[in-house]
Amino acid sequence: MFKSCWKPLVLSILGLSLLSACSEKNSDSNNTASHTANGASATSSVPAASASAAATPTITINTARGEVSLPENPAKIVVFDMATLDDLTALKVPVTGAPKKVLVPYLQQTLDSVTNVGTLFEPDLEALNTLKPELIIIAGRSAPKHDELAALAPTIDMTDTGQDLIANGIKLLDTYGKLFKKEAEAQKLHNDIQNLLTETQQAIKGKGNGLILMVNGGKLSAFGSSSRFGWIHTQVGVPVADSNIPASPHGQSVSFEYVQKTNPDWIFVIDRTAAIGEEGKTAHAVLNNDLVRQSKAWKNGHIIYLSSAAYLAAGGVQQIKTDLTNIKTAFTK
């Protein structure tokens, strides 16, 4: 009897053991699958973050509002400053948007290829919303719109002090070289300007003083060494014909008699009317009168007309090179 009862009991125990083993195996398998899935998810998120960080290194630059950190080499750029557009064009940095109605001849090809985003004074917010730029660059005339533009996209204000135009222009060029990974190109242009400045400084030595005049709608304004055009005196080295001209953003209003009495050896002319595309007499036509013709500058053909960029894109690398070349050429005739 004992023998007949033992056999079913053994079979029952074996069955229970097998069920327990299968249950543990399934449980281990489920736990392993769960840990593997969680582990895969955690592992994939780390490389993704690292790749993102590696793909967008940042660079810190100086702006008119302090130091700013930006992603290196941003791709979608909108520019509200013609000196900046001048530099980026020279560095072959693509620009997506800019005010198109600006009369700087050497920038026309660039301006023809960009989206119009308003004017230097009034940005087109609808166009900017459509473009979704990665960076907006402003300065000078557009600087008051900083907060409005910063609400749409990262915005930097690159306004300079208005003094030492050539030195500040070179610094701006170097900054853009670093930001857009164009250091070698920027350094070459930097060297070109330094060499041209040295040559121009040599050319003007001992050849008389100068007076800077802006002609606007038939009226004259004189600018001294502390003005935005003072680089002709302070950096190129042309002596001033009148040391009493006060510092003023718009110059000192003067008459034709003033030019006659000051009697400069050289006159440097900014034709604002032509620069902004207004109708009216050219600067040459305005100055061609009995009083100005009595000056040494007029008699000797020492009238130098600065480029429109000297008014619209002052401090841009191409503006600096253009006007230094014009001055050097005039003084070496």
Element spanning 323, H or E:
helix 317-331
Element spanning 69, H or E:
strand 66-71
| Residues paired with 240 in a beta bridge | 210
- Tell me the per-residue pLDDT of 250-296, one tens digit each, with 9 for 90 and over: 899 999 999 999 999 999 999 999 999 888 899 999 999 999 999 99
Q: Say how far apart CA 111 and CA 97 lie, in whole Å.
A: 8
- Tell me the per-residue pLDDT of 229-245, one tens digit each, with 9 for 90 and over: 999 999 999 999 999 99
Side-chain half-sphere of 149: how many Cα atoms within 13 Å? 30
How many C-beta atoms lie closer than 10 Å to residue 35's C-beta? 10
Higher pLDDT, 37 or 255: 255
Q: Say how far apart CA 224 and CA 163 lie, in whole Å.
A: 12
pLDDT score of 41 more than 60: no
Higher pLDDT, 37 or 96: 96
**Amino acid code (one letter) for 127:** A
Q: Say how far apart CA 178 and CA 51 lie, in whole Å.
A: 22
**Residues 192 and 324 sit within 8 Å (Cβ to Cβ):** no
Average pLDDT over the chain reads 86
Q: Say how far apart CA 62 and CA 295 lie, in whole Å.
A: 45
Of 218, 214, 221, 220, nearest to 286 by C-alpha is: 218
Ordered structural domains, the chain, with CATH:
58-159 (3.40.50.1980), 206-331 (3.40.50.1980)
Of 172, 102, 112, nearest to 316 by C-alpha is: 172
Side-chain half-sphere of 21: how many Cα atoms within 13 Å? 6
**Residues 314 and 164 sit within 8 Å (Cβ to Cβ):** no
Q: Say how far apart CA 67 and CA 79 lie, in whole Å.
A: 19
Strand duo 97-98 + 115-116: pairing? parallel
Higher pLDDT, 163 or 108: 108
Long-range pairs for 305-310: beta carbons < 8 A, 24 or more residues apart: 305/269, 305/271, 306/229, 306/268, 306/269, 306/270, 307/104, 308/103, 308/104, 308/105, 308/271, 308/274, 308/275, 309/82, 309/86, 309/104, 309/106, 309/107, 310/229, 310/270
E-strand ranges in 133-175 read 135-138, 155-157
- Tell me the per-residue pLDDT of 93-138, one tens digit each, with 9 for 90 and over: 999 999 999 989 999 999 999 999 999 999 999 999 999 999 999 9
CA dihedral for 107, 113, 119, 122, sign (positive or negative): negative
pLDDT for position 250: 86
